[in-house]
Amino acid sequence: MKEKWFVPYKYRMVEKISIPLKEERVEILKKGGYNMFHIKAKDVYIDLLTDSGTGTMSNIQWSKIIMGDESYAGSRSFFEIKDIVEELTGIPFVIPVHQGRAAEKVLNTVMIKESQFVPGNTHFDTTKGHIESSGGRAIDLTIDESADSAIYHPFKGNIDLDKLKAFVEEHKRENIAYILLTITCNSGGGQPVSLENIEETHKIAKANGIPLFFDAARFAENAYFIKQRENKYKTWTIKEIVKKMFSLVEGFTMSSKKDAIVPMGGLIGIRSEQLFNDLATPTILNEGYLTYGGMSGMVMGALAQGLHEVTEFDYLHYRIGQVKMLGDVLKEAGIPIVEPIGGHAVFLDGRKFYPNIPEDEFPAQYLTAALYEAGGVRPVEVGANLVGRDPDTGENIRPKLDLCRLAIPRRTYSYEHMMYTAETIKEVFKNAHKIKHGLKIDIEGSGLRHFSTTFKLVNSKKKSLL
């Protein structure tokens, strides 16, 4: 094992990016209603909106694109996925789908009966949406430490085992569809779940006959944190840790746009042949035949190769080190970030960054816009706008944390890009305490309002957000 931190690749292809002028950025923001999804990518310099589908593929992955087998049934590229999934996880049945939320849709339509619960650590928004649209309710039982951005806990993605036990006791097996652990926990700040916590959750699930599933979008990053922070696994390889993690679950959904480093793709992994058979019809109706399910052969080949590369220690050591480096620079400058720094992103605490913006004036959303104005950097809000309204009462939910996420695409940006980003944030922070007003909703989008809601400045006389 090499502990030295180094960049384990070199670049042989580049893509030109540029930055609009400051006056143009002010106009672009206003026109887009201060919503990052309304800004054209060509107007963004450093795009940290997401780490999903934005990674850079390796030369071997590109060779798999050329080699892709586009046969409708029994594609060789599908079997490359099946082989690596079985090798890494020990899970025998795999269903390809077009992306993570498609996996959620197919699984939940089969797994959830009306009014059943799905307890877990903080569910991602599409996951919660699919649970609810199948008639279920997502119950967030993450440990209390996850709600305080300043507390250090090595595994802030852990589920609270006492709360889980009490929940299962109160609601009984028949009202619980399954238990879901999201690894790493994206909405909680890219925080990992420990192997001890997975084992204990597995015991509770097994004792009550409830299936346990992973949302495994960032499974390899989670395994890296286990190796670094859980003493017992210090000498294990990433692949050994991954195998152990998956040995404790009935199955998983996976957005392959994250750790599998492909622009599009998703998987469902299943241990039970019966459940695999039950999932076949919704897969074929919604996605495609069982050996391509919404993906092309070429993407499947690249995905299989991505799963090999992402479970290499050197890759993960660099990847998570780069994210940590950005976070550390910000922390040194006194900027309020979520600690410890997550696997795929640095999260800024909007309420602490702007202590004088009232909570209902969307401080984290305001921060996303200010960073774009200051440097053409595009982050995304993961806070009051994202969580939306309570499906039962219609009231705005006040989330535990109002965050601005800087998601780092895999193998895409350099040290210089990261330093430019840090300087931009520092510049915005200098005057942040002087800002007293944030944003108000102009037009609220229906459903997942994150993507469509537009805002106006509360102080309409202001030109600049800085």
Residues engaged in binding ligand F0G (CB under 6 A): 50, 52, 99-101, 124, 126-127, 182, 186, 215, 217, 255, 257, 266
Number of helices (H) and strands (E) in the chain: give both, helices first. 16, 14
Q: Which of 227, 258, 317, 417 is catalytic?
A: 258
Structure tokens that stand for 21 in this block:
């002028």
Which residue in the shown chain puts its C-beta closest to ligand F0G? 100
CB of 265 to ligand F0G, least distance (A): 8
Backbone angles phi, psi at 119, to 5 degrees: -75, 150
Catalytic entry in 72, 390, 442, 462: 72
420 is catalytic: no
Q: Which is nearer to ligand F0G, 421 or 457 (CB)?
A: 421
Handedness of CA 401, 403, 409, 411 (dihedral sign): negative
Examine the residue annotation and report whether 450 is marked as an active-site residue of this protein.
yes
How many Å from the N-terminal Cα to the C-terminal Cα in the chain?
46
Q: Taking the complex as a whole, how short is the minimal distance between the CB of residue 408 and ligand F0G, in angstroms? A: 11
Q: Is the peptide bond before 184 cis (omega within 30 degrees of 0)?
A: yes
Q: Please give the C-alpha separations between residue 416 and each of 6, 51, 325, 420, 427, in angstroms, as whole numbers.
A: 15, 18, 12, 6, 17
In the complex with ligand F0G, the residue whose CB is nearer, 128 or 357, is 128
Residues in the chain: 466
Mutual orientation of helices 238-246 and 76-89 as an angle, nearest 10°? 90
Q: Of the residues 217, 223, 304, 345, which is catalytic?
A: 217
Task: Pick the closer one to ligand F0G by CB: 26 or 138.
Answer: 138
Smaller CB separation from ligand F0G, 75 or 255: 255
Task: Using DSSP bridges, classify how beta strands 251-255 and 46-47 pair: parallel, antiparallel or unpaired.
Answer: unpaired
Q: How far is the CB of 233 from ligand F0G (least distance, A)?
A: 22
CB of 382 to ligand F0G, least distance (A): 8
User: Considering beta carbons, is residue 182 or 322 the nearer one to ligand F0G?
Assistant: 182
> Which of 428, 315, 423 has its CA nearest to residue 2?
315
Active site residue 125: yes
Question: Active-site residue 124, yes or no?
Answer: yes
| Catalytic residue list contains 417 | no
Residue 69 known to be catalytic: no
Smallest distance from the beta carbon of 464 to ligand F0G, in angstroms?
Answer: 28
- Catalytic residue list: 72, 124-125, 215, 217, 258, 450
